[in-house]
Amino acid sequence: MADKDALSMQDDAMRDDALAGRRASSGTHIGFPMGSGAGVTLTDVARAAGVGESTASRVLRSHGSFSSKTRASVLEAAARLGYVPNRIAGTLASTGSKLVGIIVPSLANIVFPDLLRGANSVLGKAGFQSVIGVTDYDLVGEEALISSLLSWRPAGLLVAGLEHTPRADAMLRGAGIRIIEMLDTDGAGIDMVVGFSNRDAGRAAARHLIARGYRRIGYVGHDLALDLRAAKRFEGFRAALAEAGLQVAGQMIAPVPSSIAAGREALDRILHETPDLDAVYFSNDDMAIGGYFLCLSRGIGIPDRLALFGHNGLEVARCAPQPLSTIRTPRVEVGEASARLISSDGPPSIVTLDFELIEGATT
């Protein structure tokens, strides 16, 4: 690979002017074309600056003491040679790495990019790099990812959800680093837990619908075997209905990941099966927006003929002509708070961030 790259890079170098001042090379590294700063090592910089390696290292990390004179010459040499530190070597030599692993089930649902966004912004400011892994909602895949990420010796690991395979659980416990489980507080955590109770969110949704006077309430969801948090919401939802002497008047579960199209189709089907529903609780806003679009298309009056309730508080739900009644979840905040915990000491703990019920125009 290196040689091939060198080849293609040489082409690039030909049409390049910006490199003029950086042609120096250590000469001890084959496989890199002239003009590449990638082969320059700390030793090269130290030599060029006429100082020892350790001094150069101290200067470059502004750690320890050195004269401003040496400082200048080291910095100059580094700049002139186009030195790029090798954090792989640095990490191996020192104790801890500046890598943080983040594992999410999916990137197709904006919820997880939001989570990543929050985490990454805080991590970046603290000098960490995020290494991501996507499980596709597969716990076995998660196990493989955990082991793979752990092999990079990250400073910590952020994982969505509390459920893991036994082996994954053991690896996380034995890793010797901070583990943050996110977005769910309904269950036991391994180390730190940051999120909210999905069960409570489902409960809140049910209570809201009941308070509004709805009694023939249906549920439209997506694959619950995969999305465990959606399953917990549904569970809380049914529990609250039961407390009010009610039960789900009909349900339709699309055996696919959540999507607008799936929500639209599932609502269509449940309305065929159970035409007299007066309200529907959706597994999330994507599904709910699909339902909303169906109602718009069919001229089904909202909320008089049918009420809709979602989950997440996505922008599209809040900006719709009739803002969707839903629950805003603190996704970005969970990411941020989780990232902050990476560098914390202290015992395992649970951080609960509140969700907020949004009374839209669809209930």
Q: In the 8-state DSSP scheme, what is residue 325?
A: B
Which of DNA, its own copies, none interacts with 250 (beta carbon under 5 to 8 A by kind)?
A: none
Which of DNA, its own copies, none interacts with 58 (beta carbon under 5 to 8 A by kind)?
A: DNA
The residues, any chain, with a CB within 8 Å of residue 263's CB and separated by 6 or more, are: 220, 222, 254, 282, 286, 287, 288, 289, 290, 291, 294
The region of 42-50, 63-71, 150-158, 213-221 touching its own copies under the rule CB under 8 A is 150-158
Q: Is the CB of 200 or the CB of 336 nearer to its own copies?
A: 336
- Minimum CB distance to its own copies, residue 187 (Å): 14
The Cα–Cα gap between 339 and 100 comes to 9
Which of DNA, its own copies, none interacts with 30 (beta carbon under 5 to 8 A by kind)?
A: none
Q: Is the CB of 1 or the CB of 14 nearer to DNA?
A: 1
The Cα–Cα gap between 54 and 57 comes to 5
Q: Residues in the site for DNA, rule: CB under 7 A?
A: 29, 39, 41-43, 50-55, 57-58, 60-61, 63-67, 69-70, 83, 85-86, 89-90, 92-95
The 39-68 contact track toward its own copies, x by CB under 8 A, reads x-----------------------------
The region of 61-69, 115-123, 196-204, 240-248 touching its own copies under the rule CB under 8 A is 115-123
Return the residues of window 212-271 that contact its own copies according to CB under 8 A.
259-261, 264
The Cα–Cα gap between 316 and 304 comes to 22
The Cα–Cα gap between 277 and 19 comes to 69
Nearest to 74, CA basis, from 92, 64, 93, 61: 61
Please list, residue by residue across 83-98, b when 16 or more beta carbons sit within 10 angstroms of its beta carbon and e when fewer do. beeeeeeebeeeeebe
Which of its own copies, DNA, none interacts with 60 (beta carbon under 5 to 8 A by kind)?
A: DNA
Q: Is the CB of 51 or the CB of 190 nearer to its own copies?
A: 190
CA count, 13 A, side-chain hemisphere, 340: 9
Which of its own copies, DNA, none interacts with 61 (beta carbon under 5 to 8 A by kind)?
A: DNA
Sheet strands side by side (includes 279-282)? 250-253, 217-221, 279-282, 307-309
Which of its own copies, DNA, none interacts with 208 (beta carbon under 5 to 8 A by kind)?
A: none
The yes or no reply on residue 84 touching its own copies (CB under 8 A) is: yes
Q: Decide: helix, strand or coil at residue 197.
A: coil
The yes or no reply on residue 13 touching its own copies (CB under 8 A) is: yes
The 283-322 contact track toward its own copies, x by CB under 8 A, reads ------xx--x--xx-----------------xx--xxx-
How far out from the chain centre does Cα 318 lie? 22
- Helices 139-150 + 166-174 axis angle, to 10: 20
Length of the chain: 363
The yes or no reply on residue 86 touching its own copies (CB under 8 A) is: yes
Q: Is the CB of 72 or the CB of 84 nearer to its own copies?
A: 84
The yes or no reply on residue 97 touching its own copies (CB under 8 A) is: yes
Number of chain positions touching its own copies (CB under 8 A):
92
Q: Is the CB of 43 or the CB of 349 nearer to DNA?
A: 43
The yes or no reply on residue 328 touching its own copies (CB under 8 A) is: no
The residues, any chain, with a CB within 8 Å of residue 66's CB and separated by 6 or more, are: 55, 58, 59, 74
